[in-house]
Amino acid sequence: MLKIYKSLESGPLKELSLKTLEKGAWINVVAPTPYELKLVGELTEVEPNFLRSALDNEERSHIDVEDDSIMVLTNVPVMRAPEMYDTLPLAIILTEEYIITVCLHNTPVIDDFNHQTGSFRTFKRTRFLLQILYKSATYYLRYLRQIDRLSDEIEIELRQSLQNKEILRLLELQKGLTYFNTSLRSNAAVLDKLLRIRSNRSIQRVIKVYEEDEDLLEDVIIENKQAREMGDMYSTILARMVDAFSSIMSNNLNLVMRFLAAVTIILAIPTVISSFFGMNVPMPFADDELGFIYVAAASVLIAFCCAVMLWRKNMF
């Protein structure tokens, strides 16, 4: 999918086409075909590798600089299912005339800009880049709070009844946190590099940083740092929670096995006694009419005494 927008001076976005492409436009490319990539590359004269970088789902965040363009590849958060979180690479390419975004799938980070008209300008490329990075950081924080809330709900359910389903839900959240933490660390490296190269005179014609942009860049760094700290904290809590409930399940299994062992011992006593009296040899009380009652009573008494001993040793 290929969409082209340009902000009007009054604020609204004007949708363009490749034939009516204007300077200061934003080219948004989602799940592109080779033909679309070729068209965008020819019209904007962007390095083809820049356009293809975001199509690798495992690509890590980094910055590449060419003579007339700069690419900032960042990982943005996505929610694939109600409790399934992941990250996707998003390439943001700045040229002297355009800003281009390339991603494998639709993401809420970019979708929000499609529905906002007054909060950004496509022709202010550097500020728009920083606004995308800031929006990504805010979505990390939003999803991290959702993960924290979900983990609290699962913890309450696990306290009432230990089920494999709840443990698997925790593991899914833990996997999402791992993706987030890895991406946030690589995004932090990108922000640090962006902080260093902003004063590079050779690329100032592509990326110009004004005083307001400096403040916005600092806000992005702060938000990303906060998301990293929250991610590390929630990941630690979740890992310990999984370990704790795994230990509880193992302990419950040990309790059940101990109880079954005690019951087996108690039931073994009358079994052994009845086995002796079932032998085809002369036995005590063989000619007594109440012999069976005596043997049964003795078996029950011995089993009861054994049960009391096991109970005092906390076997029940």
Q: 291 and 276 in contact (C-beta within 8 Å)?
A: no
**Whole-model pTM?**
0.79
Structure tokens at 132: 């995308």
Per-residue pLDDT of the chain (316 residues; tens, 9 = 90+): 888 888 777 667 787 877 887 888 888 888 888 888 888 888 888 877 888 888 888 888 888 887 778 888 999 999 888 889 999 999 888 888 888 888 888 888 888 877 665 677 777 888 888 888 999 999 999 999 999 999 888 888 877 776 778 888 888 888 899 999 999 999 998 888 887 766 665 555 556 666 677 788 888 889 999 999 999 998 888 888 888 877 877 888 888 888 888 888 888 888 887 777 776 667 676 667 777 787 788 888 888 888 888 888 777 6
Instruction: Tell me whether residue 179 is exposed, middle or buried, using C-beta atoms within 10 angstroms of its C-beta: 0 to 12, 13 to 18, 19 or more.
Output: middle
Starting at the edge strand that comes first in sequence, how are the strands of the sheet with 26-30 ordered? 13-16, 2-7, 26-30, 99-103, 84-95, 69-81, 62-65
Instruction: Tell me whether residue 42 is exposed, middle or buried, using C-beta atoms within 10 angstroms of its C-beta: 0 to 12, 13 to 18, 19 or more.
Output: exposed
3-state DSSP of 149-194: HHHHHHHHHHHHCCCHHHHHHHHHHHHHHHHHHHHHHHHHHHHHHH
Structure tokens at 186: 């690589």
Instruction: Tell me whether residue 312 is exposed, middle or buried, using C-beta atoms within 10 angstroms of its C-beta: 0 to 12, 13 to 18, 19 or more.
Output: exposed
